[in-house]
Amino acid sequence: MSELEVVVEVRGTLGRLTLNRPRALNSLTAEMVRVLDSTLSRWERDPEIACVLVDGAGERGLCAGGDIRAIYDAALVGDPAPKRFWRDEYRLNARIKRCARPFVALMDGIVMGGGVGVSAHGSVRVVTERTRIAMPEVGIGFVPDVGGTYLLSRAPGELGTHAALTAGQLSAGDAIRCGLADHFVPSDALGALVEDLAGASAGEVDALVRRYAQEPPPSVLETERGWIDECYGADDVAEIVRRLQATGVDGARQAAEAICAKSPTAVKVTLRALRNARALSSLEECLEQEYRTSCALLFSPDLVEGIRAQVVDKDRDPQWKPALLDEVGADIVEKFFAPGDDELGLSTVRECDD
């Protein structure tokens, strides 16, 4: 691999985008987002490109998300740079969703946060036996973004709510069941799949991937749908926790413990965002909402504290403010959804691109 953060390659009819920061588990930078967006825009207009593919360099995974240490440094000094990053990133997520070419995402290994945004909105999403997908934002005082609320709110029953509030990891089987992926392909077959895609027409892509696909492993979450749907059916986080604790099921008890360890503000805002997202008709509308919540959270105490505890000092002992779910009132939650002076404006993106 070269030292470019994104390796851009054309092989036959295939345009390949490889995230190339393996030491950082291919975490996204502002420059990577710009390269992905501009290249995708150019390839959509290139008649020689029949298919676009995104994958990650190294053996650990596609992408671990955005560079949260950079967000931490900016938040400490009141730098609004993360807002610019999110604006570009969310617009990229929307472009991927409406890409005029088949967009194949190889979701091998770890796929978290921003990694979900550059893959799970694609038209052909491939997972492997090594796949571990998560939206872990509540663990750092943040809320699922990059279209995560759009995806998770549309998972069967309350599976998406469970994944969002616990920040739990999804296996290949879970990801397919939750609607975040389409096909299971063994990791050792990915190289041959890429080679074949280099000679495929747009109309052949889906059938070609299906030839490599195998029966996915069973979804563990699906076997737990009974208590998940019952407990997460509540529209209040404290009530969800009470239901989980009352089931007598080990998995439910562990879920309650996981939720209670997260930022009380973040989990309450997340539940509200997911419920809102169910009523929104498009990814763009969900991204608009996520941009509001992200910008509002940027200078909140929990985001800085959560990143400090998980990434900077690594003591894994965040001191959330407020510290308890009951201390996060509806008025606190509401302010994270209020329109701001800086709106995303995704409704105009397609008009500008056409």
Tokens of 278: 């169910």
Strands (E), 73-226: 103-107, 110-112, 124-127, 132-134, 183-184
Q: What is the rounded distance in angstroms from the CA atom of residue 174 to the CA atom of residue 187?
A: 17
Q: What are phi and psi of 169, to 5 degrees?
A: -90, 145
Q: Which of 5, 137, 284, 302 is catalytic?
A: 137
What's the DSSP call for residue 124?
Answer: E
Specify whether 137 is catalytic: yes
Q: Please enumerate in sequence order all residues whose Cβ is within 8 A of that of 175, keeping only pairs 6 or more positions apart, or say none.
A: 107, 127, 131, 133, 181
Helices (H) and strands (E) in the chain, counts: 18, 9
Which amino acid type is present at position 36?
L
Q: What is the rounded distance in angstroms from the CA atom of residue 249 to the CA atom of residue 351?
A: 51
Specify whether 114 is catalytic: yes
Specify whether 145 is catalytic: yes
Q: Please enumerate in sequence order all residues whose Cβ is within 8 A of that of 57, keeping only pairs 6 or more positions apart, or say none.
A: 1, 7, 18, 19, 20, 21, 22, 26
65 neighbors 114 (Cβ within 8 angstroms): yes
Task: Identify the sign of the CA torsion 130, 123, 290, 325.
Answer: negative
Q: Which of 56, 65, 66, 139 is catalytic?
A: 66
Q: How many CA atoms lie within 13 A of 204 on its CB side?
A: 11
Q: Which of 114, 139, 147, 160 is catalytic?
A: 114
Q: Which of 55, 89, 108, 145 is catalytic?
A: 145
Q: Show which residues are catalytic.
A: 66, 114, 137, 145
